[in-house]
Structure 1
Amino acid sequence: MVLKLKQPNRSNAGPASTVDVSAIVRGVINDIRADGDKAVRTYSKKFDKWSPESFKLSPEEIQQIVSTVPQQIIDDIKQVQENVRTFALAQRASLKDFELEIRPGVHLGQKNVPINSVGAYIPGGRYPLLASSHMTILTAKCAGVPHVTACTPPIAGKIPANTVAAMHFAGADAIYILGGVQAVAAMAIGTETMKKVDFIAGPGNAFVAEAKRQLFGEEIGIDLPAGPTEVLIVADEHANPFTVATDLLSQAEHGPDSPAVLITNSQSVGEKTIAEVDRLLKILPTADIAGVSWDRLGEVIVVDTLDEAYKLADEYASEHVQILTQKPREALEKMSNYGALFLGEKTCVSYGDKCIGTNHVLPTRGAARYTGGLWVGKYLKTVTYQEVTSEQESGELGRLCGRAARAENFEGHARSGDVRAHQFLGDKFEWI
C-alpha cells in the first residue's frame, strides 16, 4: 500500500518564466570570448551593479576585509575547515598510486595527478554561502591543486566580508568579487586580467549552472550539474514529527524549487509531521521561501514497511537522504541512490551543509543514480603509464598487437607491433 498524505501542488508554480536562460548565457559567453574584461565589466554593472577598479582583491584588501569579521565567525570558519580538511585528506590518502608487472618486464602503472588550475564559484545572492568556500577551495587544495581562482558576487553592492574570510582561510590563490555567468565565463575562457582555469566547481543559480553546462568539454571540466537543493527523509513509527518537520523545512528554505519529501511506514507520523510543518511555518523567519517550496514540492508518503520505504527512496535518488529510524545503518545496506546519507536523529542534513566535514556539493535531479558528489577525487586526474623493458615480451606484444589490429583493419597500428616483433624476435614482414 502506498498512501500519499501530501502531494506536490504544481498548480501553484506561478506563471511560466519567459526568460530564455540558455540564450542569455550563450550571449554573455560569446561577448566575453570576444571582448574579455570589457564584457565582464559590462555584465557585472548590468547584473550586479558592481564595477570596481579591479575585481581581484589585493592581499592588502583581503587582510583589511578579514579584519572586519568578528573573531567568533573566524574561529568557526577555522573549525569547520579543519573538519572538512580532515575528511578530505583521508579521502586523498585512500587513493593510491600503484605499479604492477603483469608479465616479466611489462610494467603498468597508475598515478593520481592534481588538476593544474581550478575555478571555485561561491554563490551569493539570497545568502552568503561561506560553506561553499570550504567545499570547493579547501577540497581542491587537499587534492594538491596548485592554483585556485575563487569568485563570489557582491551582495547588495557590498563585498561579503565573511565569505571573503572563508575563501582566504580555505587557501584561495586569487579572490575576485565577481558573480554570475560573467564570473564562470571569465574563469573558463580567461581574460586580460584573469588566467584561464581547467576546471570549475561550485553551486549557483540557473544561469551559473547553464554557463557551466555550455562551457563544459571544450573549455573546462566541471564538478557536476547542480539543481535546487533536495531532501528526503525516511522515518519509522518511532520518529519525532517535530524533528522530521524541522529538518524538512531546513532544506525547503533554500529556495522555492527545493523538494522536501517524507516517506514513512507510519500514517500517524506522516499526519503529525504535516501538522508540525504548518505550525512551524507560522514562526519560521524564512517561511516566505520555505512555505512556497513545501506547498509546491512537499510530499508525505506512507508505505507498509521500511523495506518499501528504502526502495521508494532509491527511486527518488535524492540529494540528501536522512534516516530517522531505530536502526538507521540499515540504509547503508538497503539503499544505493543518494548524494549523501544522514543517519539517525543525532545527525541532520544541516550538519552536512554547514559544518560536519563531508562535502555538500551533491548530485540533484536524479543524478545520484550515476554519480556521487564533489570530493578530492574530482580534482585529480587518474592517469596511467606503461613501460616494457623485456625484448622478448615486447616482441610477443608486437605479434599480438599485429593480429589484434589487423582484425580491426588498422594496418598502421599493426605495423607498430610488427616493428617490435621484427626487431626483438626476428619476424619477417613484406613491408619491412
Structure 2
Amino acid sequence: MIIYKEAIKKTYKRDLDVSKSVSEIINNIIKDGDKEIISLSKKFENIDLESIRISKESIKDAYNKVDYEIVEAMKKAAEQIKFYAEKQLECLLPLEVKTSVEGVTLGHRLVPVESVGAYVPGGRYPLPSTALMLSIPAKVAGVKRVAACSPASKEFGTIHPAVLVALDIAGVDEVYCVGGAQAIAALTYGTETIKSVDLIAGPGNKFVTEAKRQVLGEVGIDSLAGPSEVLIIADEFANPKYVAIDLLAQSEHDPNARATLLTTSEKLAQSVINELNNFANELSTGEIARKSWEDNGTIIITENMDEAIKISNEIAPEHLEVHTKNDKEVAEKLMHFGSLFIGEYTPVAFGDYCSGTNHTLPTMRTARYSNGVWVGTFIKTSFYQHITKEGCENLSNTCIKMAGVEGLFAHQKSVIVRVNGK
C-alpha cells in the first residue's frame, strides 16, 4: 500500500463550543418557543419571519417560481423513490408462529411511527432531493403526520420554492420555516405553532447534528451525520475522467467533504489528478471542490484488488463506487458502505437524485453497523405473544427456575399463582 495523496485535515470532530451553543438554543426554545425561533431567524439569517408555518397558498404559489421541467424532474424522481420504498415495504412482513411448546404463539406487528419530523437543510444550495428522500419513505411506511422544517433562503425570504414544491410532491402534512438546532429543538419539545414529533430524520450541519445528539431519548433520530464521503475503487481499466469528476462531485458538497480513491494503478492515479484539475477549472463550484479535495482527498495505491477491498471495508464509506473490469465480482466482496454504485455508468449523482435509493446515509464509519434512511426507519417491529393455560403450564418450570436464579420473586410468583392457583 502506498499513500499517493494524503488528506491534511480531520474532517469531523466534536466541538465543545458548538455543544454549549446548541444546549442554550434548545433550552431557549423550550422556554420561549415561537418567540425564540423568530429571534434566531433574525439573528442567523437576517430574515423577519411573519409566520413560522408555511401556508397551503404559499406552497401552491411556489410552483409558479420553479421551472416546469424541474417540477417534472422532481415528480419523476419521486416516482422512483416511492417505487423503491414500496418494494422495501413488501419485504417487511408481520409474523405469527406457533412454537414447539404447545399453547405458545409468538409474533410481531409492523407499526408505523405516528409522527415524523423531516429536516431539510439549506446552506449553500437548496436540497429538494432531501425533501423527497425523507418524506416519501415515511409516507409509504404509513406515517400519519410528517412535519418538515427547512431554513429560509436569503434570496426568497422563506423556504426555497423548489424545496416547497418537493415537499408538496412528497405529501408532507406540515411545513415550517425554521432551520438549525432550533428546528430540532422545536420538533422535539414543541412550540405554540409546532407540535412535537416522535422521530426526526434528515442531515444537517454540525449544529443540527449536535442538536440531534442532545435530544436523542426525548425523540428518536435516524442517525448522526458527519461530512459527506465517497470512496472509489478503480483498476487500470477505469476511465480517469469518470473517476475524477465523481471525486469532485463529492468534494463540492462542502469544505469538509471527504473523497478517497483506492486503485491498483499508479498510472490511473496520476491521470485522475490531471483530469480532476481540468474539471475544477471548468466548474462554477470548482474552487470549493478543489479546496475540499486538497484538504481532505486521499489516493492510495494498493498492491492488488483484495487489499483495496479490505481497506474499503475498514473505511466503511457513505458512498462507494466500483470502477473495475470485474465490477460485480468486486462488489460482492464489499460489506460495509452506505450505498454501493456498481460500474462506471453508476455515479453517486443518480443515487443522490433519482435512481430511487436513499441519499440520507451513514457516515464516519457508522456503515459498519447501521444503514441509511429507508422505509423501515419509520416502522417499529412490535412483539406480541399469546399463551394459553396449557402453554402457561408448559413454560412454567423454565420461568420459575430462571426468575429464582435472578432473585425476582414477584416474577416467579406471577407464574406460580397461575399454575397452582395460589
Same fold (TM over 0.5): yes
Q: Hey, what does 1:427 align to over in structure 2?
A: none
Q: Hey, what does 1:394 align to over in structure 2?
A: 392
Give the match's secondary structure for 1:329: helix
Contact 2:116 2:201 in 1 (8 A): yes
Worse-superposed segment, 67-76 or 391-400: 391-400
Structure 2 distance, partners of 1:110, 1:51, is 49
Opposite residue 207 of structure 1, the aligned amino acid is F
Q: Residues 34 and 141 (structure 1 numbering): CA distance in 2 closer, same or farther, change over 3 Å?
A: same
Q: How many residues align?
A: 418
Contact 1:5 1:271 in 2 (8 A): no
**1:157: how far off?**
5.2
**1:361: how far off?**
0.5
Structure 1 distance, partners of 2:354, 2:203, is 17
Alignment of 1:87-166 (within 5 A): 87-102=84-99, 103-156=101-154, 158=156, 159=158, 160-166=160-166
Root-mean-square deviation over aligned CA pairs: 1.6
Structure 2 distance, partners of 1:290, 1:332, is 27
CA shift digits 1:397-428 (9 cap, x unpaired) = 233211110011110100011012113xxxxx
For structure 2, the 5+ residue unaligned runs are: none
**1:396: how far off?**
2.5
Alignment of 1:169-180 (within 5 A): 169-180=169-180
Contact 2:102 2:394 in 1 (8 A): no
Structure 1 distance, partners of 2:397, 2:274, is 74
Structure 1 distance, partners of 2:412, 2:15, is 57
Alignment of 1:61-80 (within 5 A): 61-80=58-77
Give the match's secondary structure for 2:312: helix
Structure 2 distance, partners of 1:163, 1:300, is 36
CA shift digits 1:70-93 (9 cap, x unpaired) = 211111110000000000010011
Contact 1:44 1:182 in 2 (8 A): no
Contact 1:399 1:421 in 2 (8 A): no
Contact 2:102 2:390 in 1 (8 A): no
CA shift digits 1:174-218 (9 cap, x unpaired) = 01111111111111110111110010000111101111111011x
Structure 2 distance, partners of 1:297, 1:30, is 35
Worse-superposed segment, 405-414 or 33-42: 33-42
**1:19: how far off?**
7.8
Contact 2:85 2:140 in 1 (8 A): yes
Structure 2 distance, partners of 1:105, 1:262, is 58
Q: Hey, what does 1:202 align to over in structure 2?
A: 202
Contact 2:247 2:259 in 1 (8 A): yes
Q: Residues 189 and 331 (structure 1 numbering): CA distance in 2 closer, same or farther, change over 3 Å?
A: farther
Structure 1 distance, partners of 2:330, 2:134, is 28
Structure 2 distance, partners of 1:402, 1:18, is 51
Structure 1 distance, partners of 2:278, 2:152, is 35
Q: Residues 8 and 177 (structure 1 numbering): CA distance in 2 closer, same or farther, change over 3 Å?
A: same
Worse-superposed segment, 27-36 or 324-333: 324-333
Normalised to the residue count of structure 2, the TM-score between the two structures is 0.96
Contact 2:6 2:297 in 1 (8 A): yes
Give the match's secondary structure for 2:65: coil
Q: Residues 332 and 417 (structure 1 numbering): CA distance in 2 closer, same or farther, change over 3 Å?
A: farther
Worse-superposed segment, 379-388 or 327-336: 327-336
Structure 2 distance, partners of 1:50, 1:104, is 67
Deviating above 6 A after TM superposition, structure 1's stretches of 4 or more consecutive aligned residues are: 16-19
Q: Hey, what does 1:222 align to over in structure 2?
A: 221
Opposite residue 309 of structure 1, the aligned amino acid is A
Structure 1 distance, partners of 2:391, 2:384, is 17
**1:57: how far off?**
1.2
Worse-superposed segment, 109-118 or 329-338: 329-338
CA shift digits 1:206-246 (9 cap, x unpaired) = 101111111011x1100011011101000011001111101
Q: Hey, what does 1:280 align to over in structure 2?
A: 279
Alignment of 1:344-383 (within 5 A): 344-383=343-382
Worse-superposed segment, 63-72 or 119-128: 63-72
Alignment of 1:49-64 (within 5 A): 49-64=46-61
Contact 1:398 1:416 in 2 (8 A): no
Structure 1 distance, partners of 2:103, 2:238, is 61
Structure 2 distance, partners of 1:284, 1:70, is 23
1:385 and 2:387 aligned: no
For structure 1, the 5+ residue unaligned runs are: 424-431
Opposite residue 216 of structure 2, the aligned amino acid is F
Q: What fraction of aligned residue pairs are identical, expressed as a percent?
A: 43
Q: Hey, what does 2:325 align to over in structure 1?
A: 326
Structure 2 distance, partners of 1:384, 1:331, is 38
CA shift digits 1:367-409 (9 cap, x unpaired) = 11111111111111111011112x2221232332111100111
Structure 2 distance, partners of 1:310, 1:24, is 41
Structure 2 distance, partners of 1:105, 1:413, is 20
Contact 1:134 1:167 in 2 (8 A): yes
Contact 1:233 1:261 in 2 (8 A): yes
